[in-house]
């Protein structure tokens, strides 16, 4: 019999469900309100109050939150939407879902969010304005919107982006899937643009198992979002649907999990910030390059990530020690469906 000690397995991340989740889910089930109900209303209220958004609309996922937000922003088939080249594929997929095409913008190598100098140069040299819309000069297609992704909790410089967006008539939709609990100049991620998309997937800082939310300060857009995600049913009794709708509601039992998670969110953020501080201190001697947090930004530090040489060797070694790590996402332009997309990079 071997005397070797088996080390406990340390996963990359796992949900923390040690609060009132079971209690609230049981209450939601006992209420017999599943599609909607008091927990959904409360969860949306918690999100709005925490983020400072006027409205929060619960939805089935962060991806569907992006898709509906693009529709709310008036993006139409054949339009172009600027997205960062380094993001989870859902950002670009949501653009494709509505028949639009992404323009892939390279990231700042230090902050890992959109390189706004590249964006400014591109807009000045390769676009033109006509009737309050921005068009790509090479093919005269409208560039309707831009989606900054607040990667790993870090935020794009939103004041700079707002100025560019206003000048070139671009609508901002924020992908805040990673950044619940991140603030810039005292303002929460997802509240700068016309809409912001949150995700509550099982690996996010809070989870509902599956789910998301749309943040907006526009009452009309919040009302339209609720209408679209309930199959665009325009009457509570008659089955009259006045436009193309979607079955994208966040259900009450999952919202009940969200209510319990929101009670713990400040503690989760504090813990994440302490963890990244520990890693930055302990790994300073191995040449690890950590993400530079943007000016005036408080990050939720959703995941601890860093650049390091011989990445695959490090991953293999940690795996041998029962420690799970993963590489960050493959750039969007290297995925088969997006290889033909227009790109903005440092060689442009």
Question: For all residues of the chain together, what is the average pLDDT?
Answer: 95
* Spatial CB neighbours of 33, under 8 Å, sequence gap ≥ 6: 252
CA distances from 312 to 69, 290, 317, 324 (A): 37, 17, 9, 12
Judged against a pLDDT cut of 70, whether residue 295 lies above it is answered with yes
Q: What is the pLDDT of residues 119-135, one digit of tens each?
A: 999 999 999 999 999 99
| Res. 348: pLDDT tops 70 | no
Structure confidence at residue 346 as a pLDDT band (50, 70, 90): low
Looking at the predicted structure, is the pLDDT value of residue 1 above 60?
no
What's the length of the chain?
Answer: 348
Token output for 121:
């140069």
Q: Where is 326: in which H helix or E strand?
A: none
204 phi, psi to nearest 5 deg: -80, 175
Question: Please, are residues 91 and 147 in contact by the beta-carbon 8 Å criterion?
Answer: yes
Q: At what angle do helices 158-167 and 116-126 cross, to 10 degrees?
A: 10
Query: Strand 171-175 and strand 141-146: pairing?
Result: parallel
- Has residue 296 got a pLDDT over 60? yes
Question: Between residues 346 and 232, which one has the greater pLDDT?
Answer: 232
Give the C-alpha separation, 84 to 88, whole Å: 10
Does the pLDDT of residue 5 top 70, yes or no?
Answer: no
pLDDT per position as a tens digit, 157-169: 999 999 999 999 9
How far is the C-alpha of 255 from the C-alpha of 59, rounded, in Å?
A: 10
- Average pLDDT (201-217) is 96
Considering the chain, what percentage of its residues have pLDDT values greater than 70? 97
Beta strand pairing call for 212-216 and 80-84 = unpaired
Cβ–Cβ under 8 Å, residues 208 and 254: yes
- All domains of the chain, ordered by start, with CATH? 21-261+330-344 (3.40.640.10)
Write down the pLDDT at residue 275.
94
Residue-wise pLDDT for 309-318, tens only, equals 889 999 999 9
How many CB atoms neighbour CB 115 within 10 A? Answer: 23
- Confidence tier at 61 by pLDDT (50, 70, 90): very high
- In degrees, rounded to 5, the angle at the alpha carbon of residue 268 between the alpha carbons of residues 56 and 277 is 125
Percent of the chain, pLDDT > 90? 90
């Amino acid at each position: 019999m071997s005397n070797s000690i088996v080390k406990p397995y340390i996963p990359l991340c796992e949900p923390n469900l040690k609060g009132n989740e079971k209690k609230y889910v049981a209450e939601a089930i006992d209420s017999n309100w599943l599609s909607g109900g008091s927990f959904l209303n409360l969860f949306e209220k918690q999100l709005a109050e925490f983020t400072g958004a006027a409205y929060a609309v619960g939805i089935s996922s962060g991806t569907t939150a992006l898709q509906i937000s693009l529709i709310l922003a008036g993006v139409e088939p054949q339009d172009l939407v600027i997205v960062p080249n380094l993001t989870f594929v859902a950002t670009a997929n949501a653009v494709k879902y509505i028949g639009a095409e992404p323009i892939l913008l390279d990231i700042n190598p230090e902050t890992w969010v959109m390189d706004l100098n590249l964006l400014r140069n591109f807009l000045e040299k390769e676009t033109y304005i006509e009737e309050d819309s921005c068009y790509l000069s090479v093919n005269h297609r409208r560039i309707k919107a831009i989606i900054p992704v607040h990667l790993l909790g870090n935020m794009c410089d939103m004041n700079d982006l707002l100025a560019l967006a206003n000048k070139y008539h671009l609508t901002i939709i924020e992908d805040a899937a990673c950044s619940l609990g991140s603030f810039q100049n005292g303002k929460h991620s997802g509240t700068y643009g016309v809409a912001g998309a949150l995700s509550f997937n099982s690996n996010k800082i809070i989870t509902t198992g599956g789910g998301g939310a749309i943040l907006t300060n526009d009452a009309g857009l919040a009302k339209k979002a609720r209408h679209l995600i309930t199959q665009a049913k325009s009457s509570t009794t008659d089955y009259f649907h006045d436009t193309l709708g979607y079955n994208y509601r966040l259900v009450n039992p999952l919202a009940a999990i969200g209510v319990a998670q929101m009670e713990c969110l400040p503690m989760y953020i504090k813990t994440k910030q302490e963890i990244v501080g520990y890693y930055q201190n302990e790994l300073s001697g191995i040449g690890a390059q950590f993400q530079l947090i943007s000016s005036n930004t408080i990050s939720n530090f959703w995941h601890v990530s860093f650049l390091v040489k011989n990445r695959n060797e490090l991953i293999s070694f940690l795996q041998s020690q029962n420690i799970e790590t993963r590489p960050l996402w493959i750039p969007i332009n290297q995925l088969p469906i997006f290889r033909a997309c227009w790109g903005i990079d440092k060689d442009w």
